[in-house]
Amino acid sequence: MTLPLKKTALAAMLSVAMSVPAFADPIRTINLVTRPQAAQPAEFQFTQLIAQEWRKLGLDVNVEVMPWEQMIQAIWFSRDEWDTTAWQMVGRPERSDPDEIVYNLFHSTTAEKGFNFIGYNNPDYDALVEKQRVALDPDERREIVRAAQTLLAEDQPNMMLAHPKSTYAVNTSVWNADSVVDQSGIGIRNTWSYIQMEPVGDVKDIVLNSSDNVTAINPLYISGGTDSWITELVWDRLMRIGPDGLPQPWAAESYEWVDDTTITVTLRDDMMWHDGKPVTPEDVKFSFEAAGSGEAPMYSPFVNGIADIAIDGMNITFNLSQPSAPFLTASLSKINIIPKHIWESVIEEQKTLETNAESFQEEVPIGSGPYRFSSWTLNEEVVLAANGDHWAAPEAERWILRIVPNVEAALGMLRSGEINFLSDFPGDPTVVVSAAEEDPNLTAVSTVDIGFRYVAFNHRRPPFDDAAFRKALSASVDRRLIVGAAFRGFAVPSNSVVSPALGFWHNESTVEGMTAGVDLAKEMLAEAGYEVVDGQLNYPEGVSETLGE
């Protein structure tokens, strides 16, 4: 009978009509920003490699090269306008505590103006990192930090790449090799080395180099990496990050947590300023108040948890507004102790001016640290002299920093003896290692850094708001390729913002068993609904491109 046949035919036609896919838009050209090769050869190289792999997935990738200052404008101050970018976090001793990294980089409150410039917003993650901040029991805190890392590895808000190995060198015919300190996550270039290095022969001056100018020698201004080497030697702090990465008492003789939000620190009684006056608890209280006075904007975040400071004899009591697990590292190991008799009038004056304490440069900076200021020849060198009165007086006589912008010249100087400590080498580390192999007087030391390199995804712009898409892109590149071809082997693969250099906090399970490859990535994309049509990767069905030209 004809009716059932017609029905079948109609049904067949309808089913054919239904199986025609709804619209699916190709993904627009994705921008990947990087710094120039001259400034950042590793970064330049890995962006080329990553772009190459992503193109195999059917994505159209455009690599955009721009210098750092333009990058800041294009990325940091224009948070809606970029897709992906290479980025880095620099390793500093104070970042030995994971709080600054796990909180500031990903907490939703820092998304608009702060370090969470990628716009990551995950309430579960927010809860975790808020919890670790007030978890005073180290083991409990450790579990929370590990859980946070696992969550990030699942979500892939960024494509973590590697923790570079920094390579520095020292001349062992001048310095006793055993007296040089290799600080976890930092390398031999650290304050402990500068204090403990013993001269072997007649040369008793540490002569080291930096490729960047010294901007300022000011304890209230975080003016640059090189400058911080100087401030760490000229001024003391209550605590210091030790070679093991953990904070230890320094200017503080001892400390005690009275309760969750109160800590009492006992100041050493044998400290003197370089101008002869004694260091008093009033100076310490003043230092913390100066940091929070508004005239030192870069230091204020490190003291804003302090409600008030009380003095009793040599004891200084800090009252915090809430419990803070990273307090010892983030605050007590960070704030420089400055002389009230010099800075009090400076701060008062700055309050009346448009400028702030960052603009005040002492002729002869006065601190209480193991080295005292001796001279500063503009753009050429800074000389510090050992402070014999200090309880941790250096073994060396002077600390001399030479500004050498020409990287090859720095290596030449190490070989000729013009410098005896290679403390800055932004070039190819294999050259330093070969130089050390050829010359028995030179020893090169490579250390896995606390810092890391990554490619950031902008969560404000689709498809980067889709975790599956991010994970596929991240999985398309084998990290061994990055380590080998961009870092010449001088790095370790990374899948966590907490570096293996921070052994206590690092969660190895994030890196172990990482699988990668273009085929794997293609599978992941297909599963998530992204199809390749005519060689171009498309959004899943029903999703249109909202940001194309």
Partner 1 sequence: MKGITVIGARLLQTAFVLLAVITILFFMFRLMPGSPLAAYIDPNFTPEQQAELMARFGLDRPLWQQYFIYIGNLLQGDLGESFFYRQPVAERVFALLPNTLILTFTSLIVAYLFGVLAGAYLAWKRGAMVEQIGVPLVLTTRAMPEFWLGMLLLAVFSFGLGWFPAGGTRPPGAEYDSLWALYTSADFWRHMTLPVLTLAIYSQGLPLLLMRSNMLDVMREDFVTMARIKGLSTFSVVIRHAARNALLPVMTSFAIAVGYQIQGNVVVETVFSWPGLGRELVRAVSTADYPLAQGAFLMIAVVVILMNLVADLLYAALDPRVTHE
Partner 2 sequence: MLRRWLGAIRLPLHDPLAIVGLGIYLVFVLMAIFAPVIATHDPNEILFTTEFALAADLPPNLDGYLLGTTTLGRDIFSQIVWGARSALLIGLTAAFMVALIGSIVGIVAGYFGGWVDMVLMRLADVAFGIPFLPFVIVLAAFLEPSIWNVVIAMALVLWRDTGRVIRSQTLTLRNRVYVEAARVSGSSDFKIILRHIAPNVLPLSFLYGSIAIGWAILTEASISFLGFGDPNSISWGYMLQDAFASQALSKGSYYWFVPPGFLIILIVSAGFFITRGYEQILFPKLDR
Residues that bind partner 2 (CB under 8 A): 36-39, 41, 44-45, 48-49, 52, 65-67, 407-408, 411-412, 427-428, 430-431, 435, 478, 480-481, 484-485, 488
Closest CA to 498 of 206, 259, 184, 261: 184
Least Å distance, CB 135 to partner 1, is 23
Measured from the CB atom, is 188 or 403 closer to partner 1?
403
Positions touching partner 1 (CB under 8 A) are 67-70, 72-73, 76-77, 104, 110, 113-115, 205, 207, 213, 215-216, 221, 223, 297-298, 300-301, 354-355, 358-359, 361, 375, 377-381, 383, 398, 400, 402-406, 408-409, 412-413, 415-416, 418-419
**What are the distances in angstroms from CA 155 to CA 160, 186, 466, 470, 495?**
12, 29, 9, 8, 11
**325 binds, options partner 1, partner 2, none, Cβ within 5 to 8 A by partner type:** none
Amino acid at residue number 453? R
Six-digit token pair at 131? 């919890």
Task: Report residue 30: phi and psi, to 5°.
Answer: -95, 135
Q: Which two tokens stand for residue 255?
A: 């400390």
Q: 316 or 414: whose CB is closer to partner 1?
A: 414
Nearest distance from C-beta of residue 111 to partner 1, angstroms: 11
Residue 509 contact partner, candidates partner 2, partner 1, none, CB within 5 to 8 A by sort of partner: none
Q: How far is the CB of 115 from partner 1 (least distance, A)?
A: 5
- State the nearest-atom distance from the C-beta of 224 to partner 2, in Å: 18
Q: What is the DSSP letter of 187?
A: B
Which one of partner 1, partner 2, none is in contact with 404 (Cβ closer than 5 to 8 A by kind)? partner 1
Tokens of 147: 């859980």
Q: Looking at beta carbons only, is 254 or 361 nearer to partner 1?
A: 361
The answer to whether the CB of 327 falls within 8 A of the CB of 319 is no
Minimum CB distance to partner 2 smaller for 203 or for 409 = 409
Q: Which does 546 bind (CB under 5 to 8 A by kind): partner 2, partner 1, none?
A: none
β-pairing, 398-403 vs 205-210, is parallel
> What are residue 455's DSSP bridge partners?
86, 159
Residue 137 or 202 with smaller CB distance to partner 1: 202
The entry of partner 1, partner 2, none that residue 180 binds, CB within 5 to 8 Å by partner kind: none
Q: Which does 536 bind (CB under 5 to 8 A by kind): partner 2, partner 1, none?
A: none
DSSP state letters, 65-106: E--HHHHIIIIIS-TTS-SEEEEEE---GGGGSTHHHHHHTT
Q: CB-wise, 44 or 106, nearer to partner 2?
A: 44
Dihedral sign for Cα atoms in the order 246, 250, 251, 257:
positive
Instruction: Report in angstroms how near the CB of residue 53 gets to partner 2 at its nearest.
Output: 11
| CB closer to partner 2 out of 54 and 469 | 54
38 binds, among partner 2, partner 1, none (CB under 5 to 8 A by kind): partner 2
Output the smallest distance, CB 413 to partner 1, in A.
Answer: 5
Of these partners, partner 2, partner 1, none, which one is at the site of residue 298 (CB under 5 to 8 Å by kind)? partner 1
- State the pairing for strand pair 452-457/158-171: antiparallel
The entry of partner 1, partner 2, none that residue 110 binds, CB within 5 to 8 Å by partner kind: partner 1
Residue 351 or 480: which CB sits closer to partner 2?
Answer: 480
Cα angle at 115 between 65 and 220, to 5 degrees? 105
> Which is closer to partner 2, CB of 35 or CB of 163?
35
Q: Report how far apart, in Å, the C-alpha atoms of 281 and of each of 254, 289, 436 are.
A: 14, 12, 47
Q: Which does 48 bind (CB under 5 to 8 A by kind): partner 2, partner 1, none?
A: partner 2
Residue 544, exposed/middle/buried by CB under 10 A (0-12, 13-18, 19+)?
exposed
Question: How near is the Cβ of 465 to partner 1 at its closest, in Å?
Answer: 23
Minimum Å gap between C-beta 434 and partner 2 is 8
User: CA 356, 358, 364, 367 torsion: positive or negative?
Assistant: positive
**Which of partner 1, partner 2, none interacts with 135 (beta carbon under 5 to 8 A by kind)?**
none
Q: Are 443 and 170 in contact (CB under 8 A)?
A: yes
Residues contacting 477, CB < 8 A, separation 6+? 49, 50, 53, 159, 516
5 binds, among partner 1, partner 2, none (CB under 5 to 8 A by kind): none
Q: Are strands 452-457 and 247-249 parallel, antiparallel or unpaired?
A: unpaired
Q: How far is the CB of 166 from partner 2 (least distance, A)?
A: 16
Residue (of 183, 181, 161, 159) closest to 170 by Cα position: 181
- Judged by beta carbon, residue 108 or residue 359, the one nearer partner 1 is 359
Minimum distance from residue 52 beta carbon to partner 2 (Å): 7
CA distances from 6 to 1, 3, 180 (A): 9, 5, 91
Residues 464, 470, 473, 478: is their CA dihedral positive or negative? positive
What is the smallest separation between the CB atom of 165 and partner 2, expressed in angstroms?
17
Q: How far is the CB of 418 from partner 1 (least distance, A)?
A: 6
Closer CB to partner 2, 234 or 410, in the complex: 410
* Least CB distance to partner 1 at residue 205 (A): 6
Nearer to partner 2, 177 or 435 (CB): 435
Contacts (Cβ under 8 Å, ≥6 apart) of 155: 122, 125, 467, 470
Q: CB-wise, 407 or 528, nearer to partner 2?
A: 407
359 contact, one of partner 1, partner 2, none, CB 5-8 Å limit per kind: partner 1
Whole-number Å distance between alpha carbons of 334 and 299: 9
Distance separating alpha carbons of residues 384 and 374, to the nearest angstrom:
5
Could you please report the per-residue DSSP string of 218-273? -TT----HHHHHHHHHHS--SEEE-TTSSEEESSEEEEEEEETTEEEEEEPS--B-
